Structure 1
Amino acid sequence: MTSVTPSRTAAEECARAALAEHGTGRGPLLPILHAVREELGCVPRDVIPVIADGLNLSIAEVHGVVTFYRDFRSEPAGRTTVRVCRAEACQARGAAELVAHAQAELGIGLGATTADGAVTLDEVFCLGNCALGPAITVGERLYGRVTPARFDALLGEVR
């Protein structure tokens, strides 16, 4: 997976290859989007019409799916993605304060990537670690009982 925004031509070629591999109709939309994201690191806006045409769907239908799922983004994510759980159990244990701290520490909002491309900050609505909230993931690793100080320590490990 790349962390540089792909060229329009490369992105369209990737989308066409995914269409050829997964077929047409409604069923293969998610596998195609996953294949494009895996190859390019994102689902560029330029490929949405290509995928829609290949699947005989409207651009709005494909765009709706891309924007509904957090894993699909139009720009590549940072080298490390930090996701903060915002579900009720984590909210009750200080997730809002943790999000505010994370945004201040990183200097970005939710869904954004630091200027150096190191970290993308996202929110999720359950990591399944409710008893140990607030919970976050750093990359693929899950952490519980995360305080602002622990967040800073974890962030220091990935920067």
Structure 2
Amino acid sequence: MIGDARRRIVSKMVMVGEKIIVVPTGPEDLPQLFEFRSYAPIVGYMDDELDFAGRAEAMGTDPFLLYQQHTINQILQGHWYFSLWLKSPVTLVGTFYSTQIFSDGTIVPTILIDRKYWGKGIAEDAANVMFKWAFQDKLRHGLDGYKMVLTYINNRNTRAKA
């Protein structure tokens, strides 16, 4: 299957930025990434988009469990999920993932950084590494490159306001 071939190629990738190392997210990374995502403004942002609270209330469950399930489903459906590791000290500091991929080659990416590392240039480094991969390196590996990136800024993150 084409999806399996793509996963095999991507699974061997290691990309290096100025401050970070970017690798495909493995199952062992998920608990810590979920911890980063449990910060109320981040869960609130995702809830605005996907109504986890309303759906969870109707089902009698925790909204964050629906959020975790949504993340795992995205990984299984071929969305990008990369873990961002600080070079020194080697520490998992965030993730870079696609929230939407359109058939016309447009993507909507998300960069999520642990609050302890906000304002240290890690998101910028991650964007440089990942956009180079999305638009140039994928073509070298026989994968389709992307044509456009849609970017949104989460209003709850005052550091990201333009």
Normalised-by-shorter TM-score class: under 0.3
Q: Which has the higher contact order (CA 8 A, sep 6+)?
A: 2
- What TM-score comes out, normalization by structure 2 length? 0.24
- What TM-score comes out, normalization by structure 1 length? 0.25
Higher strand share: 2
In our comparison, the structure showing a higher alpha carbon Rg is 1
